[in-house]
Amino acid sequence: VQLQASGGGLVQAGGSLSLSCVASGGTFGSRITAWFRQAPGKEREFVAAIRRTGGSTYYADSVKGRFTISRDNAKNTVYLQLNSLKAEDTAVYYCAAARSSLIVSSLGREYEYDDWGQGTQVTVSS
Among the listed ranges 18-22, 49-53, 121-125, which one has the minimum average pLDDT value? Answer: 49-53
Distance CA 9, CA 18 (A): 10
Output the pLDDT for position 52: 85
Q: What is the pLDDT of residues 29-66, one digit of tens each?
A: 888 999 999 999 999 999 999 998 778 999 999 999 99
Pair 4, 120: CB distance under 8 Å? no
Output the pLDDT for position 23: 93
Fill in the amino acid letter for 22.
Answer: V
Fill in the amino acid letter for 14.
Answer: G
Q: Report whether pLDDT(25) > 90.
A: no
Output the pLDDT for position 90: 98
Considering just the CA atoms, what is the radius of gyration of the chain in Å? Answer: 13
Instruction: Calculate the average pLDDT of the chain.
Output: 95
